[in-house]
Amino acid sequence: MFTTFSKNTNFMTNVLEYGRIILRLIWPILLVLALVVNNVSPAQAISLSQELPHRKVIVVDPGHGGYDLGAVGPSGLAEKVVTLSVAHKIKEILFGTYEVHLTRDDDYRIDIEHRTAAANHYRADIFVSIHAGGGFGHQGRGMVIFYHGPGTGERPMSPRQQESSWKTGEKSLPWDSIQHAHRAKSKVLAKTVHRHLLVKLNPVDKGISEAPCFVLRGADMPAVLVEIGHLSHPADEKELRNPVVISAAAEAICEAIKEYFRKFH
């Protein structure tokens, strides 16, 4: 019975999501028709429809999920749990102001290419991937923000995670280069998120890094990967167990998103 209810709920959620997408695509046509019926010229109707504000679309990607635990802290806290908590909080805060989608809303795994495909499918204005990765021998600690590029900075994924992620062989796909067109705005978004997280969390700061991030490379919009901490470090794991810290991280990311959209209408 519970399984049936869960499936029905997921079905209705999908129906509503697709309904919102369809409405967003056809409302200008409906508006033009309504204005023409009321003796407004087609040219005036089109002009009025174009002046109405576009509701920004945000896709938030909680890293890992399902059997892919991500990094695991010394006392057992899994990265997949932390990232989903932050993503849900972001959606809760931004709900009503923006159209917010999560690449996953529960504990299941999604292939990396499908995460980026979701952002492209929803025609997102920005894509934010949330992580809380690990380092070697408890050495890694702190916050770092990545944007995609051929930089020589630290890779956001461990060798084990890269091995299980999307592989295209030695020959890269043409779509992989699409993120380069958004590099400048992605860098601005990364700097904005970084600044707000510093104010809210006062973390060990690893700064901003340009790196070839698999999860960002196919995104056709400004995109960043946010490492809010390193679960492999006992102190970071303790912090990320605290709901207050999770809420603060989400709030900082939301404030950064709002500031970014004020810069780029």
DSSP codes, 86-109: HHHHHHHHHBTTBEEEES-SSS--
pLDDT of residue 54: 72
pLDDT of residue 261: 96
The DSSP call for residue 53 is P
pLDDT of residue 175: 59
pLDDT of residue 178: 86
pLDDT of residue 22: 60
pLDDT of residue 149: 86
pLDDT of residue 40: 45
- Residues in the chain, pLDDT under 70: 1-53, 134-139, 151-176
One-letter-per-residue 3-state SS of 137-157 = CCCCCCEEEEEECCCCCCCCC
pTM to 2 decimal places: 0.74
Of 141, 146, 168, whose CA–CA distance to 156 is shortest?
146
pLDDT of residue 28: 54
3-state secondary structure of 1: coil
